[in-house]
Amino acid sequence: MNEKQLAAEKSIEFIKDGMIVGLGTGSTVFFLVNKLAESVKQGLNITCVSTSNQTSELAKSLGIKILNLNDVDQIDLTIDGADEVDKNLNGIKGGGGALLYEKIVANASQKVIWIVDSSKFVEKLGRFPLPVEIISFGSKQLFNRFDELGFRPQIRKNGSNNFITDSGNLIVDLHLNEIDDAIILERQIKLMHGVVEVGLFNNIADTVIVGKEKSTEIFSRK
């Protein structure tokens, strides 16, 4: 069993009968959804809210009930992956392109757990390109602004076409290498006109489950 699967399956222990559960997006969540479907078939009674069309389709195909976020008052627990996590449990997310919906669902949740393999647990954020979701109108000017700031922007592609998010926007990946202050950077980027959301998830995860070789390690926010 690989580290992603170890972390994903460990997170199932936090899901209780009757919960409304938020499901994230990405390769680690794929393991979660498949294992969760087994528990549902064995009688676990839960309702889920998804952060992407991709996750919704997978969950529904496996018999997991999915509701629209607007149809629930709040989410008991959201489990999601992350592209990088630091020792303060801040992270970069959006490698799968679902950062906007992931942040909305996380903010509607009483508890947030991230599941990652050991390579994602880092000393300092920034080696993974930082995703920024932007609207297409004025995207060239915003791209140039990122370039002027030394952010080394790159429009995300899907083959030869621009990658389009579930909400119809573009993603610019910023190649920063190192982020000195994630909270200040998040605020700086979000104030730029045309930015919808930035993939810095600060003070959001309550717990991070890290798959390490053949076991897991759990970190919780102090």
The pLDDT-based confidence of 1 (bands split at 50, 70, 90) is confident
Separation CA 209–CA 89 (nearest Å): 11
**How many Å apart are CA 166 and CA 182, to the nearest integer?**
25
Phi/psi of residue 68, nearest 5 degrees? -70, 145
CB 70 within 8 A of CB 18: no
What is this structure's pTM? 0.95
Q: Which of 75, 68, 78, 66 is nearest to 108 (CA)?
A: 75
As a whole number, the mean pLDDT across the chain is 97
**Known catalytic residue: 13?**
no
Contacts of 2 (CB under 8 A, 6+ apart): 117, 211
Beta bridge partners of 78: 22, 112
CATH of domain 130-198: 3.30.70.260
Q: Considering 3, 102, 133, 197, which one is annotated as catalytic?
A: 102
Domain boundaries, given as residue ranges, for the chain: 3-122+202-214, 130-198
What is the pLDDT at residue 92?
A: 98
3-state secondary structure of 145: helix
Separation CA 172–CA 196 (nearest Å)? 11
pLDDT, tens only, 42-95:
999 999 999 999 999 999 999 999 999 999 999 999 999 999 999 999 999 999
pLDDT single digits (tens) 103-141: 999 999 999 999 999 999 999 999 999 999 999 999 999
What is the dotted CATH code of the domain comprising 3-122+202-214?
A: 3.40.50.1360
Tell me what percent of the residues of the chain surpass a pLDDT of 90. 98
